[in-house]
Amino acid sequence: MGMEYRLEQLISNLEKLSGINEQSEDTPIVMRHTDVSTNRTYAIVCAQGEPINMVLPMNVVWICFRPDSMLYRKALRRISKDAGIFQSENIKQDWEVLYFYEDVLEEQVYDPSDLTLVGVSPVPFATTEALGKVRLSIDPIDSDYPVAIVEGDERLSNPRTPNEHTHEEKPATMLAHATGHANIIDSVPEVGAALLFDAAGDLVWRKIKPDDLT
């Protein structure tokens, strides 16, 4: 199967931008490609050798630039960290060849075991008492309460009194602080004024005086 022209152009552009042909065999270059139609950014590795010694998304895209490889200038997406079909190419993990530009735009996710290495805590599974992730492949215990709420579910809205409305904003009358709260006495905020404590411990809007700074 031939490669789509848009993907060929992407590979050519990244080859020039990364300068990969001027790098050593063990120097991968991680590029960030933003698709204008989705406004999403994807990690694409330009490298001669398989990029397995880096923390990358599980389904990262790798463009092989090893001239003597059967995969030269082909885009590959990682499927898993298990052994794959390209072991004869000294490729240890499982990759698939991409033929279309759209294949590059798959949302990238990290292996849960790598999340701690990039400073991200894995999201726990939801319980009856705590928010979390769920598996949509599991049927709900009660069909009236599905695992996930989708468009059209009546629970996405709650048209009860009072309905959605707006009203004139009123000035704050109280401000909380580290040891309690203070009342804001009758005064109006103005440009150049600050909210300051007065002798009685209340707050008042007024301009700062030289004595306030001593």
Q: Within a domain: residue 38?
A: yes
pLDDT at 36 > cutoff 70: yes
Same domain, residue pair 100 and 179: no
Q: Within a domain: residue 108?
A: yes
Same domain, residue pair 109 and 9: yes
Q: Which of 31-35, 86-90, 146-150 has the lowest mean pLDDT?
A: 146-150
Number of domains in the chain: 2
Q: What is the 3-state secondary structure (H, E, C) of the chain?
A: CCCCHHHHHHHHHHHHHHCHHHCCCCCCEEEEEEECCCCEEEEEEEECCCCCCCCCCCCCEEEECCCCCCCCCEEEEEEECCCCCCHHHCCCCEEEEECCHHHHCCCCCCCHHHHHHHCCCCCCECCCCCCCECCCCCCCCCCCCCCCCCCCCHHHCCCCCCCCCCCCCCCCCEEEECCEEEEECCCCCCCCEEEEECCCCCEEEEECCHHHHC
Same domain, residue pair 106 and 183: no
Same domain, residue pair 185 and 99: no
Q: Within a domain: residue 150?
A: no
Task: Note down the domain range covering 39.
Answer: 5-113
pLDDT at 92: 93
Average pLDDT over residues 174-181: 85
Q: End of a domain among 113, 147, 165?
A: 113
Q: Within a domain: residue 152?
A: no
| pTM of the entire predicted model | 0.56
Q: End of a domain among 98, 113, 128?
A: 113
**pLDDT tens digits along 103-127:** 999 999 888 888 777 766 667 777 7
Q: Between residues 157 and 13, which one has the greater pLDDT?
A: 13
Same domain, residue pair 18 and 98: yes
Q: Within a domain: residue 168?
A: no
**Average pLDDT of the chain, as a whole number:** 84
Q: Within a domain: residue 15?
A: yes
pLDDT at 120: 66
Q: Within a domain: residue 14?
A: yes
Same domain, residue pair 23 and 99: yes
Q: End of a domain among 76, 91, 113?
A: 113
Same domain, residue pair 179 and 106: no
pLDDT at 45: 96
